[in-house]
Structures are given as C-alpha cells and as structure tokens.
Amino acid sequence: MPCLAKHSQEDYGGAIVDYNEALRLNPNYAKAYHNRGIAYQELGENRSALADFRQAERLYQQQGNTRYSQDLQRRIRELGLRL
C-alpha cells in the first residue's frame, strides 16, 4: 500500500492523501482510519486524529478486532487529555 510507504518515510501529508483514497474506496477500512489518525497526530492535527481514532475503534469493535480496539481506546484517552 503506497500510503504505508509514505507513512514510514514520514511523508504524513502524502500518506493522508492516500488514506483518503483508500477510505473513498472502502469506508469501512478501519486500519486506514487508524493509520490516518496516527499521521494526523504526527502533524499536530489532534482533533482530526481523535476523530479518526474514534471511527477506527468503532469499526474494529464491529469487526471483533479487540487487539486494535483496545490500542485505540488507549490512544483516544491519551489524546483526549491533551485537547
């Protein structure tokens, strides 16, 4: 996935563009919300990060993915304390 390459190269803006496209194609792609939230957080856009983390966490719960759901619950709490 190109967005992961951009993300790992710290091209967070480029990664966000790619995550947007991935979500346009599949709006239930929890990992894209999760990773886009991380990219937003790296850019200091904490409100956008929080919105994406919440959406990803809802989708992970619906999909029964407790591991990632729990990770996002932690991230949401930590980020919420900083807003």
- What pLDDT is recorded for position 83? 65
Residue 30 has pLDDT above 60, yes or no: yes
Residue 17 has pLDDT above 90, yes or no: yes
CATH of the domain at 19: 1.25.40.10
Count of domains forming the chain: 1
Counting Cβ atoms within 10 Å, is residue 9 exposed (0-12), middle (13-18) or buried (19+)?
exposed
Domain that holds residue 67: 2-82
Residue corresponding to tokens 């939230």: 37
